[in-house]
């Protein structure tokens, strides 16, 4: 039986296991391939002892499970791999070692499930001869080539649920509650959860905000008798005259910069300019955990089946994607050109402003 390797890279997200299941089930039922699970992202192809045979029995029950049974890492870039050599930590290119290991394992294809970082690595490995197919994953929904990524719907549901809960406590105490959500350099999670959760203010990276406008909105609501306000802030938001707030810089061997902290800054400003009682909630990794929604399970299963189909047909160097209602694929290089920002003329933004939500401008 021909063998295909499967790995999950980057931050985890609800629906990864559903993709793995879609691959294993279709490999077995339709294509007659053996699936080999590769652990800890690309590390499983760099270090020995990190692979396992997978079949329908071994993956039983994983469809509703969050996380990834293959584990993941966002620090496993083979082109900038950090390891100990002669007692010293070096960051170097081990991509040739990875290609060797791929051959030793007798694999004829690789399916890399990940976000922009993982697909960028997959594209570079494809250029070096690795037969790879990408599957887009991220709660941030920020990949250009696909209309939607699985995990996003679940993250929005989690954030909306949190907003419902924050609403009742904010109203009880006449407080302003600021909730910081993930999303990296895009505002999809903030905008959709803010709309679904009835936020009064939504701040997102696509619209650098004026803090005075935000304060005016909160003051205006207080004057009109609403003793509380709910402010949703995407982690990548920045003020008109400032920059994104970073917790930890990224770099060679370290992965991408970690964003976060803007929620506290916005909260401090609102407290100062309105004199109101303000509390800040950083939702953090709750957004990445838990069982995938029905929408994400279906999308992930369709992506898994499609990826396996591409492998079986020998159509490598592609990434599966959703266009409208159709699962299709694009060249993996086209998939990683830029982030998918929320378009400023999108219906979501127009609706938000039409119902009086302040977007900080
Ligand atoms: O890309 C997914 C994501 O959850 C972002 O929204 C967030 O900025 C980042 O990953 C957090 O990464 P880490 O798990 O390394 O803190």
Distance of CA 316 to CAs 122, 252, 323, Å? 11, 28, 19
Q: Of 12, 116, 140, 296, which is the active-site residue?
A: 140
351 vs 71: CA distance, rounded Å: 39
User: Can you give the pTM of this predicted structure?
Assistant: 0.95
Residue 337 confidence class, pLDDT cut points 50, 70, 90: confident
Domain topology for 3-150+292-336: Rossmann fold (3.40.50)
Is 140 labeled as catalytic in the residue annotation? yes
Q: How far is the CA of 205 from the centre of ligand 1 (A)?
A: 15
3-state DSSP call for residue 347?
Answer: helix
By the 10 Å C-beta count (0-12 exposed, 13-18 middle, 19+ buried), 183 is classed as buried
Give me the residue spans of the domains in the chain. Answer: 3-150+292-336, 155-287
Q: What is the pLDDT of residue 253?
A: 66
**pLDDT, tens digit (0-9, with 9 covering 90-100), for 65-86:** 999 999 998 889 999 999 999 9
**pLDDT, tens digit (0-9, with 9 covering 90-100), for 219-261:** 999 999 999 999 999 999 999 999 999 989 887 767 788 999 9
Q: Is the beta carbon of 50 within 6 A of some atom in ligand 1? A: no
Q: What is the pLDDT of residue 255?
A: 72
Q: What is the pLDDT of residue 42?
A: 97
**pLDDT, tens digit (0-9, with 9 covering 90-100), for 91-121:** 999 999 999 999 999 999 999 999 999 999 9
Q: Give the rounded distance of the alpha carbon of 22 from its chain centre.
A: 20
Q: What is the pLDDT of residue 51?
A: 98
Homologous superfamily in CATH for domain 155-287 = Phosphofructokinase domain (3.40.50.460)
The DSSP code for 31 is I
155-287 shares the fold of 3-150+292-336: yes
229 vs 50: CA distance, rounded Å: 50
Q: How far is the CA of 285 from the centre of ligand 1 (A)?
A: 8
């Amino acid at each position: 039986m021909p063998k295909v390797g499967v790995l999950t890279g980057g931050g985890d997200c609800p629906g990864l296991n559903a993709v793995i299941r879609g691959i294993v089930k279709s490999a077995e039922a339709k294509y007659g391939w053996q699936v080999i699970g590769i652990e800890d992202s690309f590390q499983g192809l760099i270090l020995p002892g990190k692979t396992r045979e997978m079949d329908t029995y071994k993956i039983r029950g994983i469809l509703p499970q969050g996380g990834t049974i293959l584990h993941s890492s966002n620090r496993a870039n083979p082109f900038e791999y950090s390891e100990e050599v002669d007692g010293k930590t070096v960051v170097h290119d081990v991509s040739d070692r990875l290609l060797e290991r791929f051959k030793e394992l007798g694999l004829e294809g690789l399916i890399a499930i990940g976000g922009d970082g993982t697909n960028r690595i997959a594209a570079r490995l494809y250029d070096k001869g690795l037969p790879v197919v990408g599957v887009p994953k991220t709660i941030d929904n920020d990949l250009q080539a696909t209309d939607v990524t699985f995990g996003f719907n679940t993250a929005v549901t989690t954030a909306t649920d949190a907003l419902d809960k924050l609403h009742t406590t904010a109203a009880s105490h006449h407080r302003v509650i600021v909730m910081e959500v993930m999303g990296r350099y895009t505002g999809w999670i903030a905008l959709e959860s803010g709309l679904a959760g009835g936020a009064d203010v939504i701040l997102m990276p696509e619209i650098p905000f004026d803090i005075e406008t935000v304060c005016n909105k909160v003051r205006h609501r207080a004057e009109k008798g609403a003793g509380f306000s709910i402010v949703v802030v995407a982690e990548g938001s920045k003020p008109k005259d400032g920059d994104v707030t970073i917790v930890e810089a990224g770099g060679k061997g370290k992965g991408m910069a970690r964003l976060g902290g803007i929620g506290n800054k916005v909260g401090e400003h609102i407290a100062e300019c309105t004199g109101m009682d303000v509390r800040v909630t950083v939702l953090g990794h709750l957004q990445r955990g838990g069982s995938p929604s029905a929408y994400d399970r279906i999308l992930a299963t369709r992506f898994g089946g499609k990826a396996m189909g591409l492998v079986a047909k020998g159509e490598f160097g592609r990434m599966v994607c959703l266009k409208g209602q159709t699962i299709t694929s694009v060249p993996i290089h086209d998939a990683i050109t830029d982030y998918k920002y929320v378009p400023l003329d999108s219906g979501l933004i127009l609706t938000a402003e039409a119902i009086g939500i302040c977007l900080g401008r």
